[in-house]
Amino acid sequence: MSLVEGEDVSKFIHLNRLAPRIVARLYETIFIFLRDNIHCEKRIVVGGNTLEKSYFRKIEDRLALSRQTAPQTFSPALLDSERITINGSEYLNIKALLYTFRSHPEYLRLLEPRYHSLVMGDTNTENIKIGNTAALLAAQVLINQHKSEEEIAQALTAINAENIQLRFLDPRAIGYQSEGAECRDDYMYDNKPWHNSIGHYDEIHNELFTLDMYVNAEKYPVINIQFTENNEYQRAYQIYDCAQKKINPINDSSVLGMEKYFSQVMNNIYDITNPDSIYLKEDPYWLVRFVFMMGTHFAAMPPFHFSSELDGTIKDSIRTQRRPVAIYCEGIKWLNWALEILQGKRDQFLGISVPFVEQIAKETIQYATI
């Protein structure tokens, strides 16, 4: 990919410490292009089973491979307990999570996509390149110089797919039960740019963190992850884990980073504040599906992030293999947050109200009485 001209988005953000407002506009540009040029193609209505094939079994297969690759790191202590503690918060571990999702048809009904379409398949921002960075850097200069909101807004508007020469690399749209040019899948998977920032992927991938683990008296794993203070990505994204702390970033002046812009970006893409939005009609449960997608993506990613020695061997220790373990933990957190939304324990997430809490409750009662 280094032979393709242009700057990859992750590296460009890192080198230039783009302000969160600019990163948010860049994400918006990416999503608008995908919405208007990719996800509108080859659309078909689907009848179910996407979750089992594309998400649940993939997680189980990938974690089995992780266990086979590094059995001491991805040990029964890490994978097989009912619960796991991450940075002081207790969560259901992966087996309990998958069992809970599978055993509640009302949850599966809400998480299952209504249609499949053409997808990119891997929108990790390392796979997205910019051919012309002028508009992005111009906006950065105005923000650094504390120019007026009008000037900054005009500069942000100038950022679009054509001006920045947006390119997508390494498409992996292998599709759901399809091949070649007919490949289709759940469009939600292409929202992955958020995993680079609010999912901490760029910090984890570049090993800007420490990790330690022990097993407590209840035989549950206790993991502590500490990101390098004031690292390059943290300065750009200004990540604040409001998803965990259950605060509303729109009403909290201390939240200045990417979480604060989540609702703004997603509203501009899917018109979510408009009750007549065609996107809401087609995907009314998009928010919980997004949170669920983030969790399934991270939970299935560990095998691709093992560190190997110079001779190609894998050193099986949690310190050496802290990267796939941290990625696994990120998956656990997001899947638990998705489950909390489905259980009616969260009425908002990242500044967006959950509009279907009552509907979930009704469906839960309906299935319980069948």
Cβ atoms of residues 48 and 112 within 8 Å: yes
**Mean pLDDT confidence for 222-244:** 78
pLDDT higher for 244 or 202? 202
pLDDT at 243: 44
Cβ pair 87, 333 in contact under 8 A: no
Q: Which residue, chain included where needed, has tokens 């209840």?
A: 218
pLDDT band (50, 70, 90) for residue 271: very high
Categorize the per-residue pLDDT at 328 as very low, low, confident or very high, splitting at 50, 70 and 90. Answer: very high
* Cβ proximity of 161 and 29 under 8 Å: yes
pLDDT score for 193: 94
Terminal Cα distance for the chain, rounded: 53
Task: Answer whether residue 74 shows pLDDT above 70.
Answer: yes
pLDDT average, residue stretch 263-278 = 91
Task: Report domain extents, the chain.
Answer: 1-37+126-170, 48-122+180-369
Give residue 348's pLDDT: 86
Confidence band of 101 (pLDDT split at 50, 70, 90) = very high
Assign 3-class secondary structure to 23-39. HHHHHHHHHHHHHHHCC
Q: Compute the chain's Rg from CA coordinates.
A: 20
pLDDT digits (tens, 9 = 90+) for 161-172: 999 999 998 777
Whole-model pTM: value is 0.90
